[in-house]
Amino acid sequence: MKFTWFHLMPWPHLPDDFREKHRSVWVDIPTTLYDAKRGHHVYHDYFDQLEFAEEMGFDALGVNEHHANAYGLMPSPNLMAAALARRTSKAAIMVLGDSIALYNPPIRVAEEFAMLDVITGGRLAAGFPVGTSMDTNYAYGQIPALTREKYAEAHELIMKAWREDEPFAFNGRYTQLRYVNCWPKPVQRPRPPIFIPGGGSLETYDFCLEFDYTYCYLSYSGYLRAQQLMDGYWERVAKSGKDDSPYRGGFAQVICVADTDADAERLYAEHVHYFYNRCLHVYPGFADAPGYRTVKTLQANMITQLTQAQLRNYPTLTWGDLVEKGYVIAGSPQTVYDRMVDLSKRLRVGNLFCLFQVGDMPGDKVRHSTQLFAEKVMPRLKADLFPEWRNEDRFWIKPMQPAERRLAAE
Amino acid sequence: MSLTSRLIDVAGGRAKVRVYEGGDGPPLLFLHGAGGLMRDDPFVAALATRYRVHAPLLPGYEDSTGEERLRTMLDIALHAYDVWDALGLSKPLVCGLSMGGMIAAEMAALAPNEIERLCLVSSAGLWLDKHPMPDLFALLPQEFPGYLFHDVERGSKLMAPGGDMNDINFLAEFMVMNARRLGMAGKMLFPIPDRGLSDRLYRIKARTLIVWGENDRLIPLPYAEAFRSAIADARVVTIPAAGHLVGHEKPEAVLRALATLN
């Protein structure tokens, strides 16, 4: 299995009455709640945590893109990846990712990802999300019903820019370029591995299968609820006639490890509640701009979506509920191991995006949980899960050989 | 006044359009707002007491299809002319409500010799920094009546979806159709309902009547004057005790105003 230590970079200083006083953590949250001098420390603390995760042996360090959002302070994930590129030497840098429909022209993504891949010596794992509706439509003004077409065109442009050796003209509906000429080119040829976050759109399943990209479900609702969606994906994989490598799938999971189950609650519960009650407090009017999902996807998922929305009432969920229902995998190393095995088998995912920093969790607790997982859980999972796919390398980075590389961090 | 409907081929089969029709009198092409037509739409029914009304549904609404090829304001204005052609209309009075007003004004600016009489009812299409409109696309379904009607309670009844919203199957169907409608509307109205119309309004030659509810909470009254001052031959009629859906709340007053355009 591949473990990505993923950071959302939440703002950890939202007030206790945030939920009562503000309708949304996203889109129209007032910036008076932000403090740039505290933000300076927050960013550096978060970089420290990511760098620590490399020392602990995680396969990848993950960052992502959000806008006008207090739980994700990375409007530009490429800046964060660049900062990590010079301070790390082994782990993949997983940018999950650049919302390619938002870059104008999208050739910018081909260029910046190529820069990152060259600087890291081929350690870039490239994510191409459509972006949430909050980011893409409300914060960045893209017309919802045209977002997917624009995304598809941006994808075509970027891939062609990486693939072609000669300059070419690109006559798109949303982008026209007389000279496409991507300098530099990525180290990984023809392209870095591509990860696509999805939320159950049939079109996204098929898109991943067509190009052999890894489909990633980044939910915070935990693995038990994710099973229906991932089952849908694997059914689609089977129908497509492609192999069922677990590395075609990825999942994000909040994980809290302590010496005992009781310690986990004592150490982490308050931070987990901060995350679910403040960071995920999104105004329903911003959740899904009309036109953002296709009618086909809406028809397939609407009843599930309505049912789940009724059940997902975060303020009523206790620590016990969150753990039992799998929102959070928490407890002793043995407990966490058992649940991670359950997760991997149910969802059949080879990629795990692990969220150890949760809400306003401070650095010492983040390190404690990360280290216990790295030393007592991760090696067992790597040894025990998907042994028949041990040599799978189609879906992961292919860095330059150590002898060829200049290691910036050493 | 009862209306009939039929599904017609438009633009050589590139779109299929449901058209509601009824009434006797001079021809009137009615272009609906972002919400589409209501069941037994009271505004269209009132228009049909004086006019021969043709009220096509934009692709994306009910069983009108072909919305994938309509991306820009130009696509949509030309589509409306394609519908006009398919219906074989001759110099109709063109009347557009809200988003439909935006389309109607665009049509009249695009081909000013085609449209002689134009009625813009609480029309979208302009943006005034001093009078920002609420974000239609971030409203919850239960919030709409408050923005659309002067008499909110009566308006809520008018908008009742004709089914049980506690029945999850009905609710799901309603949500899907609503997303499809507003997804189409978003091509004109998202994130700001301005596609450069203000630069083109000078081209309109039609005698233009601008009708507005005095208590319009979605597109407030100053927009009426903004349209009037930009169109060569335009008058404003404001109607008291009416909101954005002025034709639904005060159909008789709107008909009286329209009569002055004959």
CA distances from B43 to A252, B53, B105, B247 (A): 51, 11, 19, 5
Which residue in B164, B180, B181 has the most chain A C-beta atoms within 10 A of its own C-beta, making it the best mutation to test that interface?
B180
Query: What average pLDDT does the segment B205-227 reach?
Result: 98
- Cβ of B183 and A292 within 8 Å? yes
Under 8 Å between Cβ of B38 and B248? yes
Q: Which of A164, A60, A161, A168 is nearest to A114 (CA)?
A: A161
Task: List, for residues A236-250, the tens digit of each pLDDT value.
Answer: 999 999 999 999 999
Query: What average pLDDT does the segment B201-215 reach?
Result: 98
Mean pLDDT of the residues in chain A: 95
A127 vs chain B: nearest CA distance in angstroms?
Answer: 26
Residue A310 above 70 pLDDT?
no
Residue A26 is given by DSSP the state B
From A286, A288, A306, residue closest to B168, measured CB to CB: A306
pLDDT of residue A407: 72
**HSE-up (13 A, CA, CB side) for residue A399:** 22
Name the one residue in this structure whose structure tokens are 């990848």: A60
A55 vs chain B: nearest CA distance in angstroms?
Answer: 44
φ and ψ at residue A275, rounded to 5 degrees: -65, -50
User: Would you call B191 an interface residue with chain A, using a CB distance cutoff of 8 Å?
Assistant: yes
Under 8 Å between Cβ of A261 and A335? yes
Least confident of A110-124, A314-328, A330-344, A347-361: A314-328
pLDDT of residue B162: 78
Q: Which of A357, A360, A283, A289 is nearest to A26 (CA)?
A: A283
A298: nearest CA in chain B?
A: B176
Residue A408 above 70 pLDDT?
no
User: Would you call B138 an interface residue with chain A, using a CB distance cutoff of 8 Å?
Assistant: yes
The dihedral region occupied by A328, where left means phi > 0, alpha psi between -120 and 50, and beta the remainder, is beta
Positive or negative torsion for Cα A381, A387, A391, A395: negative
Task: List, for residues B140-184, the tens digit of each pLDDT value.
Answer: 988 999 999 999 999 998 888 778 878 888 888 888 999 999 999
Q: Which of residues 163-222 of A touch B (CB under 8 A)?
A: 173
Beta strand B15-22 pairing with B4-10:
antiparallel
Token digits of residue A312: 């997902």
pLDDT of residue B260: 94
Residue B1 above 60 pLDDT?
no
Containing A389, the helix (H) or strand (E) segment is none
Of A161 and A200, more confident = A161
The answer to whether the complex's ipTM is over 0.90 is yes
User: Would you call B175 an interface residue with chain A, using a CB distance cutoff of 8 Å?
Assistant: yes
A145 vs chain B: nearest CA distance in angstroms?
Answer: 5
A49 vs chain B: nearest CA distance in angstroms?
Answer: 36
Q: For the packed helices B73-87 and B168-189, what is the interaxial angle rounded to 10 degrees?
A: 110
User: Would you call B132 an interface residue with chain A, using a CB distance cutoff of 8 Å?
Assistant: no
User: Would you call B65 an interface residue with chain A, using a CB distance cutoff of 8 Å?
Assistant: no
φ and ψ at residue A122, rounded to 5 degrees: 90, 30
A294 vs chain B: nearest CA distance in angstroms?
Answer: 8
User: Predicted confidence band at A102 (pLDDT cuts at 50, 70, 90)?
Assistant: very high
Residue B6 above 60 pLDDT?
yes
- Cβ of B184 and A138 within 8 Å? no
Question: Cα–Cα distance between A185 and A112 in angstroms, integer?
Answer: 10
Task: Give A125's strand partners.
Answer: A94
Mean pLDDT of the residues in chain B: 96
User: Would you call B168 an interface residue with chain A, using a CB distance cutoff of 8 Å?
Assistant: yes
- Cβ of A295 and B180 within 8 Å? yes
Task: List, for residues A2-44, the tens digit of each pLDDT value.
Answer: 999 999 999 999 999 999 999 999 999 999 999 999 999 999 9
pLDDT of residue A219: 87
User: Predicted confidence band at A311 (pLDDT cuts at 50, 70, 90)?
Assistant: low
Question: Cα–Cα distance between A104 and B118 in angstroms, integer?
Answer: 39
